[in-house]
Chain A
Amino acid sequence: SQKIEQNSEALNIQEGKTATLTCNYTNYSPAYLQWYRQDPGRGPVFLLLIRENEKEKRKERLKVTFDTTLKQSLFHITASQPADSATYLCALQPNTGNQFYFGTGTSLTVIP
């Protein structure tokens, strides 16, 4: 069966450190993988997209890697700040169809 798993339900890190979140998938052939941020009571907000033929993407303090052999994406936030505290979701769009499949999310808390 198809599955998207994100690492541990909650991740706590010290301010200034790098947060690394994982997204593992099985039985998908994603054309795109996206990362979203979601704050309590709000809809997800798009952060980064990476295509199946790309290895790495960066945007300011954010970096995403995509390994289609390992079926894994890593999401890094460098120099983390308390304002980065939120739930982070990965989402796959397969290369057939228009559906998006979301992981369960990882709750990140950055401790001052």
Chain B
Amino acid sequence: DTGVSQDPRHKITKRGQNVTFRCDPISEHNRLYWYRQTLGQGPEFLTYFQNEAQLEKSRLLSDRFSAERPKGSFSTLEIQRTEQGDSAMYLCASSSSGMGTDTQYFGPGTRLTVL
């Protein structure tokens, strides 16, 4: 297993367009998290899945953002009608509840630039 992977690594889009990012977690991990990180800040929680169920969603997340995790494997994060304020690094992390503690393994991130 090579860890958490994310695709694409970079995305440049025009304001108003829709974008979709993919995250492939570590295969035996049942938990998956999405975060957003802007320059000089720590990761900000967006949403959390346990298996295929989306159990938590940040109140800061507007309804332009949606995430899915069909079959409890990979996950997608879609942003509709992008705005310049959406420009950030989008990080995915996975963990295993069977480990007893929730150590997260992060992917390399997708850097989004909205022009």
Q: List chain A positions with a Cβ less than 8 A from chain B.
A: 4, 9, 32, 34, 36, 41-46, 49, 51, 89, 91, 93, 97-105
Contact = CB atoms under 8 A, between A and B. Distances in A.
Interface residues of B, number: 27
29 contacts: A9-B40, A34-B103, A36-B106, A41-B109, A41-B111, A43-B4, A43-B108, A43-B109, A44-B91, A44-B104, A44-B106, A46-B104, A49-B103, A51-B101, A91-B42, A93-B102, A97-B56, A98-B31, A98-B56, A98-B102, A99-B45, A99-B58, A100-B33, A100-B102, A102-B43, A102-B44, A103-B42, A105-B40, A105-B42
The 10 closest A-B pairs by CB, nearest first: A43-B106, A102-B42, A102-B43, A99-B45, A44-B106, A104-B42, A46-B103, A89-B42, A103-B42, A98-B48
B105 interface: yes
Contacts, number: 62
A100 B108 contact: no
A98 B104 CA distance: 12
Contacts of A100: 33, 43, 45, 102, 104
Nearest to A43: B106
A69 B23 CA distance: 38
Interface of B: 4, 31, 33, 35, 40-45, 48, 50, 55-56, 58, 91, 93, 101-109, 111
A13 to B, nearest CB: 21
Nearest to B6: A43
A103 B109 CA distance: 18
Nearest to A34: B103
A32 B103 CA distance: 10
A4 B45 CA distance: 14
Contacts of A89: 42-43
B31 to A, nearest CB: 7
A98 B51 CA distance: 14
Contacts of A98: 31, 48, 50, 55-56, 102
Nearest to B33: A100
A78 B44 CA distance: 29
